[in-house]
Amino acid sequence: MTTKVGRPLRADAERTVRAILEAAERVLAQDPAASMERIAEEAGVNRTTIHRRFASREALLEAMTLAALGQVREAIEAGRPETAPPEVALHQITANVLAVKLGWRFALTRPAPEGSPAARAQEEIVHRCDTLLAKVQRAGLIRPDVDVTWARQVYYALLYQALESAEPADLDARAALVVRTLLHGIG
Amino acid sequence: MTTKVGRPLRADAERTVRAILEAAERVLAQDPAASMERIAEEAGVNRTTIHRRFASREALLEAMTLAALGQVREAIEAGRPETAPPEVALHQITANVLAVKLGWRFALTRPAPEGSPAARAQEEIVHRCDTLLAKVQRAGLIRPDVDVTWARQVYYALLYQALESAEPADLDARAALVVRTLLHGIG
DNA sequence: GCTAACCGCAACAGTCTTGTTGCGAATAAT
DNA sequence: ATTATTCGCAACAAGACTGTTGCGGTTAGC
């Protein structure tokens, strides 16, 4: 359960919820143990307002993660993994996902609680990723003997690392670096 | 400042300190927000005993990180980065560091506070790592155009990933996988 | 064996956090 | 224009956690 109320929210309330989610991301990215008070302050909102929309701290985190994963999902779909040529899709998706991850560093790093909707969303994305990588492998860009799971883990690790490192500044350049390193290493 | 007392500890106190550090690693690896009470319980010790040895929770974390970084340092030196042939050293150090990281997952993942001794130790290790990779590069195993910083980041990322993934079980096999992926990618 | 160090235990103080409730003013939606 | 929603504010309850102190029995080290 994400929000407390089921009925559709008024426009201003909707805006407030988004502001809270985004503030939470900003604050928690800096300090994962930050209090609700601190998040409320960053959102320009009273602490009680957060509790009005989210049943608990946990619920807020869940909502953040779900929102972020939704955007990752869109980022993947925008790369047309099914139809585009594998190498094009790989590059495009890498760039798109990097962009999303830049804005949702905390939410996307946090391990989702077992069995939660967020965990399911994560699994679905993992599955899509595996499908894409398998396709790339069939296209001959990945050696046939490489385990897809290991391929995905390395891909994830490189995506994460490309976020931490400051350069290159350009998103496409970063994506290219990730893909090149993934496929050919540095040797 | 790590411990509260400057004078040499009695043998049993020394043992207790080690037990606390190791218990903290086990507990915090599972739940980074675990309380001192929980850590004390795991160490088979009263909570006040922890406070007798460590001025604060922060001090305990610092001590853990320092201890772990010391072991990493030993793991690197045991690989003879200066004298052994680059590829041998790279493999050996990878295996050694993986072994240490397995036991100090939390302490080595936690970002060290700015300016702390732990931060300095981390920087020194980064420097040693860069030196090693530069040597590997001069030996022709890494392309000359690859940035050493990026090389190190990818290396770190692969080390981390090799910890998360369950297989292969054998440490040397894991190290080989890391080195191979680092140098040649998966394509 | 003497002595200082060690550690469990009980109790306490203080702070911080989460989560709740009720009221009243502002505002979106019809 | 009316009405229900929204949100700031103040206050409260409950609990968790950190850090401290004093006492007393036990144990390591000389």
Looking at residue B92, which CATH number applies to its domain? Answer: 1.10.357.10
- In this structure, the answer to whether residues A40 and A97 fall within a common structural domain is no
Q: Do A150 and B141 touch (CB under 8 A)?
A: no
Q: Which residues of A touch B187 (CB under 8 A)?
A: 141-143, 182-184
The angle formed by the CA atoms of residues A141, A142 and A145, to the nearest 5 degrees, is 145
* pLDDT at position A50 over 50: yes
Residues A92 and A2 in one domain: no
- Once rounded to an integer, what is the mean pLDDT over residues A133-158? 96
Pair A68, A50 in one domain? no
Which has more confidence, A5 or A44? A44
What is the pLDDT, as a whole number, of residue B165? 87
Does residue A107 register a pLDDT over 80? yes
Q: For the domain that residue A106 is a member of, what is the CATH number? A: 1.10.357
Chain length of chain B: 187
Nearest by CB to B183, which of A146, A157, A187? A187
- Amino acid present at B134: A
The DSSP 8-state label assigned to residue B94 in this structure reads H
Does residue A104 have a pLDDT over 90? yes
pLDDT score recorded for residue A163: 92
Q: What is the mean pLDDT of residues A55-82?
A: 97
Range scoring the smallest mean pLDDT among A136-145, A165-174, B89-98 = A165-174
* CB-neighbour burial class of residue B123 (10 A; exposed 0-12, middle 13-18, buried 19+): exposed
Quote the percentage of chain A above a pLDDT of 70. Answer: 98
Structurally, chain B folds into a number of domains equal to: 2
Identify the pLDDT of residue B102.
95
Question: What confidence score (pLDDT) does residue B1 get?
Answer: 41
Q: Tokens in use for B18?
A: 């080690």
**Per-residue confidence band for A167, with pLDDT thresholds at 50, 70 and 90:** confident
Span A110-129, pLDDT tens digits: 999 999 999 999 999 999 99
B21/B97 same-domain check: no
Q: Per-residue confidence at A4, pLDDT binned at 50, 70, 90? A: confident
- Token output for A132: 């894409």
- My answer on whether B28 and B78 are in the same domain is no
Same domain, A132 and A150: yes
Do A83 and A35 fall into the same domain? no
Nearest CA-CA partner of A185 in B86, B87, B187, B93: B187
Nearest-CA neighbor of A151 among A72, A66, A90, A65? Answer: A90
The pLDDT, as a whole number, for residue B169 is 82
Peptide bond into A168 cis (omega under 30): yes
Protein contacts of strand D with Cβ less than 7 Å away: A 5, 7, 9-10, 12-13, 15-16, 44-46, 48-49, 52-53; B 10-12, 35-37, 47-48, 51, 55-58
Asked if the model's pLDDT at residue A146 lies above 70, the reply is yes
Q: Domain of B29?
A: 1-55
Whether residues B162 and B124 share a domain: the answer is yes
pLDDT value, residue B7: 82
**Is B40 in the same domain as B97?**
no
Of B33, B151, B186, the CB nearest to A186: B151
Other Cβ atoms within 10 Å of B53 Cβ, number: 20
The per-residue pLDDT for A6 is: 72
Statement to judge: residues A1 and A68 lie in one domain: no
B39 with B93, same domain? no
pLDDT in tens, A9-37: 999 999 999 999 999 999 999 999 999 99
Hey, what are B33's tokens? 């927000």
Among B159, B12, B177, B180, residue whose Cα is nearest residue B76: B159
Domain-ending residue, one of B15, B37, B55: B55
Per-residue model confidence as pLDDT tens for chain B (187 residues)? 446 777 889 999 999 999 999 999 999 999 999 999 999 999 999 999 999 999 999 999 999 999 999 999 999 999 999 999 999 999 999 999 999 999 999 999 999 999 999 999 999 999 999 999 999 999 999 999 999 999 999 999 999 999 988 877 899 999 999 999 999 998 7
Domain match, B42 and B108 both: no
Residue A134: exposure state from Cβ atoms within 10 A (0-12, 13-18, ≥19) = middle
